[in-house]
Amino acid sequence: MKKIILKKGRDKSLLRHHPWIFSGAIKRIEGTPERGEPVEVYNATGSWLARGAYSPDSQIVVRVWTFNQDETVDREFFRCTIENAVKLRHSLPGFASNFTACRLIAAEADRMPGLIVDQYADYLVVRFLAAGVEKHKSVIVELLAATTGCRGIYERSDDAARIKEGLPEATGLLCGEMPPEEIIIQEYALRFKVNIQSGQKTGFYLDQRDNRDYLRRHAAGKTVLNCFAYTGGFGLAAAVGGAAKVTNVDSSSPALEMTVENMRLNGIEETCYENISADVFCLLRKFRAEKRKFDIIVLDPPKFADSKSHLAKACRGYKDIAILGFQLLNPGGQLYTFSCSGLMTPELFLKITADGALDANVEAAVIKRFSQAPDHLVSLPFPESYYLKGLLLQSR
């Protein structure tokens, strides 16, 4: 039996069922566990706490599988865990009828640390981002195929998180049929083309599904600036909702080319929108100099902070872009602003946004708060799973 013995007083988070154990909490390791191998975790007085996967190269040395000492991490464990996760998604309102793509497994929030599984129509895209799930990859893939009846499972484990785990990046077909180059998915009133082989993350940002739908229902007659547009999600929602004109901005020309395809797919005329390939910060400053204004502005940037050491710089980035956004709003305009950085708390994000409004000399009020779609579970013992924060602000 391989054991992890914690330092005195370092078991508090585990007693609250938080699933991470950092290197600084460990007093000693008994035995020589291999990467991804299950280990038993004990506190300083010898009481059993948890069973988890060992990762010698990561700062998170153990990711907990279970806090139940009688629960064995075997094929049956994975079968039950996967089936429960899939069953939960099928119970969500609108599943299959309102949308044909969703997150089936959300890593630690579904008791599968480091595993992301997204479903796009008849295909699954998987990301094995931690040593434990990597060690059990073949069993997990087999059970995913059996549980979902999907046509194919494609891997997109091309993420820097793999490097931190001592694992090489990996992509390619794992099971079944190779997915087509583009998959069409339904999302309420919208249809999107998704390239799961070369798109960002697993191909699309499914977590913004409900927030896009909210914008669609409130965009009629408005001029809309969609920043960090990627393949046009918010911009398409606004256009389908009857926006007077949509401007999509992204640094990626290929992503904007997919935006054109998505607009055509939904019957949007080219006169209803424009796409601009540019650095968002630079373009917003240019718009400010030109005194260009919009009724609605969407700020949905990529993650600015992936570690605590980057948080201060991320705060400056969020504040800078908030200032620019507020300055480009028409009187009475609305700013949709988001952070997908798990380290950014809702309170801190609100403060940064308020500071941005102050520096922009704009009075604004919070009309609505946004979060991730419910298939991207938020686990109560694991606050890091609540990563997407958004605010709808009304200038006045």
Rg (CA), the chain: 22
pLDDT at residue 95, rounded to an integer: 81
Share of the chain above pLDDT 70, in %: 99
Tokens 């950085």 locate to 341
> Quick one: 380 exposed, middle or buried, by C-beta within 10 A (0-12, 13-18, 19+)?
exposed
CA 329 to chain centre: 27
Mean pLDDT over residues 41-65, rounded?
97
Are residues 92 and 375 in contact, defined by beta-carbon separation less than 8 angstroms?
Answer: yes
Classify residue 144 by its DSSP letter.
H
Of the candidate CATH numbers 3.90.1150.10, 3.20.19.10, 3.30.750.80, 1.10.260.40, the domain formed by 75-176 belongs to 3.30.750.80
Classify residue 290 by its DSSP letter.
T
Mean pLDDT over residues 85-94, rounded?
92
pLDDT at residue 328, rounded to an integer: 98
Are residues 165 and 55 in contact, defined by beta-carbon separation less than 8 angstroms?
Answer: yes
Query: pLDDT for 280-334, tens place per residue?
Result: 999 999 999 999 999 999 999 987 766 677 778 888 989 999 999 999 999 999 9
pLDDT at residue 1, rounded to an integer: 79
Per-residue confidence at 338, pLDDT binned at 50, 70, 90?
very high
> Quick one: 162 exposed, middle or buried, by C-beta within 10 A (0-12, 13-18, 19+)?
buried
**Cα–Cα distance, 275 to 265 (Å, whole number):** 16
340 is catalytic: yes
**Cα–Cα distance, 83 to 93 (Å, whole number):** 18
Mean pLDDT over residues 243-248, rounded?
98
Q: Which CATH code is given to the segment(s) 205-395?
A: 3.40.50.150
Average pLDDT, the chain: 95
Domain chopping of the chain, boundaries: 3-66, 75-176, 205-395
Same CATH topology for 3-66 and 75-176? no
Q: Does pLDDT of 4 surpass 70?
A: yes
Are residues 133 and 140 in contact, defined by beta-carbon separation less than 8 angstroms?
Answer: yes
What single-letter amino acid sits at 198? S
Tokens of 6: 């914690």
Q: Does pLDDT of 272 surpass 70?
A: yes
Task: State the DSSP string of 162-209.
Answer: HHHTT---EEEEEEESPPPS-EEEEETTEEEEE-TTTSSTTSS-GGGH
Query: pLDDT for 193-245, tens place per residue?
Result: 999 999 999 999 999 999 999 999 999 999 999 999 999 999 999 999 999 99
Helices 311-327 and 346-359: crossing angle, nearest 10°? 50
pLDDT at residue 314, rounded to an integer: 80
Q: In whole angstroms, how far apart are CA 292 and each of 220, 223, 277?
A: 20, 11, 17
- pLDDT higher at 343 or 49: 49
**Cα–Cα distance, 51 to 165 (Å, whole number):** 18
Give the three-state DSSP class for 155: strand
Q: Does pLDDT of 375 surpass 90?
A: yes
Residue 374: CB partners within 8 Å, gap ≥ 6? Answer: 92, 210
Per-residue confidence at 342, pLDDT binned at 50, 70, 90?
confident
Helix (H) or strand (E) holding 252: none
Given 102, 150, 227, 340, which residue is catalytic?
A: 340
Q: Among the listed ranges 238-252, 264-278, 333-347, which one has the minimum average pLDDT value?
A: 333-347
Q: Does pLDDT of 20 surpass 70?
A: yes
What single-letter amino acid sits at 387? Y
Mean pLDDT over residues 4-28, rounded?
97
Query: pLDDT for 117-162, tens place per residue?
Result: 999 999 999 999 999 999 999 999 999 999 999 999 999 999 999 9
Classify residue 303 by its DSSP letter.
P
Tokens 């992509």 locate to 171
Which residue from 256, 207, 208, 203 is spatially nearest to 232, judged by alpha carbons? Answer: 256
Which residue from 393, 173, 181 is spatially nearest to 297, judged by alpha carbons? Answer: 393
Share of the chain above pLDDT 90, in %: 92
Question: Dihedrals φ, ψ of 215, to 5°?
Answer: -60, -40
Helix (H) or strand (E) holding 352: helix 346-359
Which residue from 234, 198, 190, 18 is spatially nearest to 98, judged by alpha carbons? Answer: 190
**Cα–Cα distance, 152 to 52 (Å, whole number):** 29
- Quickly count: other Cβ atoms within 10 Å of residue 10's Cβ: 16
Q: Does pLDDT of 344 surpass 90?
A: no
Question: Can you give the pTM of this predicted structure?
Answer: 0.94
Per-residue confidence at 343, pLDDT binned at 50, 70, 90?
confident
Task: State the DSSP string of 323-350.
Answer: HHHHHTEEEEEEEEEEE--TTS-HHHHH
Give me the architecture of the 3-66 domain, per CATH.
Answer: Roll (2.30)
